[in-house]
Structure 1
Amino acid sequence: MTTLDTALYLRRLDLPAPAAPTLDALTRLQTRHNAVVPFETLASLMREPVAIDLPSVQRKVLQATRGGYCYELNGLFLALLQTLGFDVRAIAARVVEGDDRTPTAQTHLCGLATLDGAAHLVDVGFGGNTPTAPLRLDRRDPQSTPHGRYRIDLAPDGLHTLQAEILDRWRPLYRFDLRPVPAIDREVGNWYVCTHPDSSFPGQLRVARAGPGWRRTIGNGRFTLHRPGRPSQHRQLADADDVLAVLAEAFDIRPAPQPGLRDAIETWLSSYR
């Protein structure tokens, strides 16, 4: 059985092991993770299957210093938290798209951490709207993070809804309950995301990283820089060379050369020109 290389993980985050599993320690880990480890869907762009077993994710994220999407990033992060002594488990969410009254599949993996009797939502894998600090589930007022405000609504049926304040409006991101997600359900959800014809991931490139005072994203054929209190800066990406340069300079992603990568990037860009 493969165990997590905790020392290598903490070296990538450039953090010492916390002395105790506290809220402050969790906040440092989550904020730093979002600053260092990018959300990225290069495998989905190439329409490749995405492995989410621990050895595969460690090789990709820790040894090859790449990123990933929710099943990779949150799966690995929750393994780190458990190794460090946190009371944490995986939960699943339904991403809200368009008409938020229509149920979507449970295709987002996040986490639930309990500290001093209080439950907190933990997420390092929701792309450009990932909360960069833990969020208390028992609060209904806005909660501030280093990259914006969030709030959690609770419906009578027990479903929680995570909302983000975007351009002075509260927008729902995903809905979740508190049931733990067994490994087989994570495999099924991940298979849907990376292979199903109705999934929005295959053939698409999405990248996000959130550091001190900034959040950078790639999506819809363009690179965007967000800074608190300033208008977002958007730039259309020109070609595969431009995309690869932005990946390296803005996200520290340098994918190994592979057949078809440039063609996949050009095909993706062509749909936004």
Structure 2
Amino acid sequence: MNQTLSPAQLAAYFDRIGYTGPQQATSETLYALHRLHPQVIPFENLDALLGRTPRLDLESVFAKLVSARRGGYCYEHNLLFRAVLDTLGFDTTGLAARVLWNDPAAMTPRTHMMLLVETPDDTWLADVGFGSMTLSAPLLFDTGREQATPHEPFRLDLIERGDFLLQVKLGDAWRPIYRFDLEPQFPADYAMANHYVSTYPESIFVDHLIAARVMPGERQTLFDTTLSQRGKTESKRELTSAEELRGVLQDVFGLALPAKDSDTRRETPASGLDDVLERIVRLSTSITSTAS
């Protein structure tokens, strides 16, 4: 049975993303919510960096992404988004994908969550939690054709063994993002994948700082100490201190972070975070020095 939000929770979510439109289960409502959600609620992996496996029960996800004004990664984003859609009367199915982004030849485990959404007239792929290439609009489940979004064009293709491939067009080239089938996923499937990506020593979420936000007309991405902006123009900036990282997480990505604790003898979430940010800066500085 799918989970739904209370009227108060739904109102708080709408307030969080700035949505004031209709609440009917239509394609127009889906499109509007899908556009706003990743603009306001960023992708981030701070919990995994702090050695914590994010909790995937709806109350915990809501408390983190809405009440505490944090972000999260794919399971948290899409579980919350699914609960919103189910509350409004949409028919949703949780899916899982093998991520190909930055490693197109790999056959990776199914570690990414996204949604199949039914409206009265159409079937859609919805995904508000894929980091640097998060969809800014749902895609019609119609293979083989280029689909415009407020940002890049995307395309769904049918490939071998009945799998589907999601691609994005960057310049003149199509790049693969992930492959998936239509087998429904259940909470136990996501719990297992969540544990894997937040604890496996070679998981990108365990050792690297990642944050992303889909802004109107551009994307902002943070990978370790590199802040990238992609839109009409592209730029990169290297951050050189934990204080700079903290400021970017708050000011660029809109995260509500605990105040820095000046008492280093105390065990607090703030001190843990600042230790992690210091470590990210040291590692990045070390890699840069070695490369030069």
Segments of 5+ residues of structure 2 without an aligned counterpart are 260-269, 286-292
Q: Which runs of 4+ in 1 moved over 3 A?
A: 97-102
1:153 to partner: Cα distance: 1.1
- The one of 74, 85, 89 aligned to 1:85: 89
Q: Distance in 1 between matches of 2:103 and 2:77?
A: 28
1:141 to partner: Cα distance: 1.4
Whether the 8 Å contact between 1:209 and 1:216 is mirrored in structure 2 is: yes
Partner of 2:114: 110
1:15 to partner: Cα distance: 1.0
Partner of 1:157: 161
- The one of 35, 39, 42 aligned to 1:35: 39
1:272 to partner: Cα distance: 2.4
- The one of 204, 208, 233 aligned to 2:235: 233
Map of 1:87-102 to 2, 5 A cutoff? 87-96=91-100, 100-102=104-106
Q: Which amino acid aligns with 2:179?
A: R
Higher mean C-alpha displacement, 60-69 vs 207-216: 207-216
1:98 to partner: Cα distance: 5.3
Given the two structures, how large is their TM-score scaled by the length of structure 1?
0.94
Partner of 2:186: 182
1:115 to partner: Cα distance: 2.0
Q: Is 1:203 the equivalent of 2:215?
A: no
Whether the 8 Å contact between 1:121 and 1:137 is mirrored in structure 2 is: yes
- The one of 19, 24, 27 aligned to 2:28: 24
Distance 1:102 1:3, change over 3 A: closer
Distance 1:124 1:200, change over 3 A: same
Partner of 1:71: 75
Partner of 1:248: 250
Q: Over aligned residues, Cα RMSD in angstroms?
A: 1.6
Distance 1:54 1:166, change over 3 A: same
Segments of 5+ residues of structure 1 without an aligned counterpart are none
Q: Distance in 1 between matches of 2:123 and 2:84?
A: 18
Q: Is 1:263 the equivalent of 2:267?
A: no
Whether the 8 Å contact between 1:46 and 1:203 is mirrored in structure 2 is: no
Query: Percent of aligned pairs with the same residue?
Result: 39
Higher mean C-alpha displacement, 40-49 vs 183-192: 40-49
Tell me the secondary structure at the aligned position of residue 120 of structure 1. Answer: strand
1:47 to partner: Cα distance: 2.1
Q: Deviations over 1:46-69 (max 9, x none)?
A: 122211111111111111011100
Kindly tell me the number of residue pairs found equivalent between the two proteins. Answer: 270
Q: Deviations over 1:205-250 (max 9, x none)?
A: 11111121221110142111122x32x1100011110011111111
Q: Distance in 1 between matches of 2:157 and 2:120?
A: 22
The answer to which structure has the higher helix fraction is 2
